[in-house]
Amino acid sequence: GQQVMQIPQYQHVQEGEDFTTYCNSSTTLSNIQWYKQRPGGHPVFLIQLVKSGEVKKQKRLTFQFGEAKKNSSLHITATQTTDVGTYFCAGRKTSYDKVIFGPGTSLSVIP
């Protein structure tokens, strides 16, 4: 069945350093979404990417969707303590398929 993987599982960075998490799907996706879950909280939608090679930015966050629509990345520039949490990617094969979440990357930021 369809699988979505993410690396790394954990990342500890000094405040101000950059951070990147990578997401890979075993199948081509129609779109990919990114969510952030703060400790003790629930996942919150960040963004959706649809087009092959798409790049979107949200302030210090840069999201990319691969050309083959099987991988994606989230890059955070100059991390802050407010970036702490687990970042999940989630993909669907078609708009009506179930959403498959990756296992997430847990980010810790050392002040």
Partner 1 sequence: KAGVTQTPRYLIKTRGQQVTLSCSPISGHRSVSWYQQTPGQGLQFLFEYFSETQRNKGNFPGRFSGRQFSNSRSEMNVSTLELGDSALYLCASSSDSFPYEQYFGPGTRLTVT
Task: Select the residue interacting with partner 1 from 7, 44, 55, 78 (CB under 8 A).
Answer: 44
Q: Is 48 in the site for partner 1 (CB under 8 A)?
A: yes
Give the CA count within 13 Å in the CB-facing half-sphere of 80: 4
Task: Select the residue interacting with partner 1 from 14, 42, 82, 111 (CB under 8 A).
Answer: 42
Span 52-81, contacts to partner 1 by CB under 8 A: none
Site track for partner 1 across 10-39, x = CB under 8 A: ---------------------x-x-x----
How far, in Å, CA of 18 to CA of 91, rounded? Answer: 25
Span 84-103, contacts to partner 1 by CB under 8 A: 88, 90, 95-103
Is 102 exposed, middle or buried (CB count within 10 Å of its CB: 0-12, 13-18, 19+)?
Answer: buried
Contact 29/91 with Cβ under 8 angstroms? yes
- SS3 assignment, position 81: helix
